[in-house]
Amino acid sequence: MLFRRLVTAAALATAMFAVSACQYEDLLPAEAPLPAALVQAIKSNGMGVKSPILVRLYKEESDLEVWKQKTDGTYALLKTYEICAWSGKLGPKKKEGDRQAPEGFYTVTPAQLNPNSNFHLALNMGYPNTYDRANGRTGSHLMIHGSCNSSGCYAMDDEQVQEIYSLARHSFEGGQRAFQIQAYPFRMTPKNMARHRNSEHYDFWKMLKKGSDYFEMTRQQPNVGVCDRRYVFDQSAETVAGLSATGACPDFSLPAQVVAKVEADHAEEEKIASSFSPSDFAETSTFSYRTGQPITPEAYAQEQHRREGYDREGNRVGGGGGSIFSSFLK
């Protein structure tokens, strides 16, 4: 009798485990729960599972950061993901077909999540935004997606994009109406700005840096507006909301600590640049493509800055790690 009871109990336990295991297997990728380890990290950092998020992208370092709002209203870094592949070179996207991954400040709403993407899951970045349109830039369907395969997007592997998608979904469920993506060419340090000061995009990057500095010093999402065809930042969301993208800019108010950082970093950049030899300045990669041109497998492989361990189709082949941009830009 005792033996029969033990056998029955074991069978019931096995059945219950099987049902539990199948609960998540039956879910679509877009509905998958956050990993337990990530939930624990959220809670241990004083965040809520459904609190707002903010995403920061860095091309040269191939990093995607997800920041999450804490109970005190400030943002803290939750997790850094290594971007699996992105295409083009440092600099903003300007036209349809240039295969450039965007740089700038973008907004993602629930409607921009795509659970049925051919690339596992996708989040539409919202390119072109107001700034892009004011400057005559064209293009569409620029995404953060899976499958480690990019033609102008930021491509992650499927496991990564599933986590990012789930974090976005939970933030929307918690009441966040939209989250901000800050896409940068590199980490906006004085040394990096000095390295890249000979680039044709330097003035554009200086403009982006002010928004980066705002976030770095306040740990608050910068209020971003566009006037005179340029990005501007202000302490008041109402001020930037009423701007004309092509009209004249009014005076803006930045927190004192942000102004101080902008000035201090510029002075440090000048000091660093004055100590550089010509070989210390970055050499921009020169490959580019025009719409309609055929692309050989070799050219396509060169165009994509891909994490080691993935082939040009986005399939994992083993190994990996490290920045994949180092061979193109010094």
Catalytic member of 84, 120, 145, 305: 145
Whether 84 sits among the annotated catalytic residues: the reply is: no
Q: Which residues contact 285 (CB under 8 A, 6 or more apart)?
A: 89, 90, 328, 329
- What are the C-alpha distances in Å from 172 to residues 72, 142, 195, 211? 19, 21, 39, 24
Q: Which two tokens stand for residue 66?
A: 């997800």
Catalytic member of 84, 120, 148, 153: 153
Whether 170 sits among the annotated catalytic residues: the reply is: no
**What are the residue numbers of the active site?**
145, 153
